[in-house]
Chain A
Amino acid sequence: DAKTTQPTSMDCAEGRAANLPCNHSTISGNEYVYWYRQIHSQGPQYIIHGLKNNETNEMASLIITEDRKSSTLILPHATLRDTAVYYCIVRVAYDKVIFGPGTSLSVIP
Chain B
Amino acid sequence: EAGVTQFPSHSVIEKGQTVTLRCDPISGHDNLYWYRRVMGKEIKFLLHFVKESKQDESGMPNNRFLAERTGGTYSTLKVQPAELEDSGVYFCASSQETGWKTQYFGPGTRLLVL
Contact = CB atoms under 8 A, between A and B. Distances in A.
A45 interface: yes
Nearest to A48: B102
A46 B102 contact: yes
Given A46-B103, A49-B102, A95 B31 contact: yes
A49 B102 CA distance: 9
A101 B37 CA distance: 11
Contact of A43 (B98, B102, B105): B105
A97 B99 contact: no
Interface residues of A, number: 19
Contact of B103 (A41, A42, A97, A101): A97
Interface string B72-105: 0000000000000000000101000011101111
B102 A95 contact: no
Contact of B100 (A42, A43, A95): A95
B43 A96 contact: no
Contacts of A99: 35, 42-44
B56 A45 contact: no
A60 B63 CA distance: 41
Interface of A: 32, 34, 36, 41-46, 49, 91, 94-101
26 contacts: A34-B102, A41-B107, A43-B93, A43-B105, A43-B106, A43-B108, A44-B43, A44-B93, A45-B105, A49-B102, A94-B56, A94-B99, A95-B31, A95-B98, A95-B99, A96-B33, A96-B48, A96-B56, A96-B59, A97-B35, A97-B45, A97-B93, A98-B45, A99-B43, A99-B44, A100-B42
Interface of B: 4, 31, 33, 35, 42-45, 48, 55-56, 59, 91, 93, 98-100, 102-108
| 3 nearest A-B residue pairs (beta carbon) | A43-B105, A99-B43, A44-B105
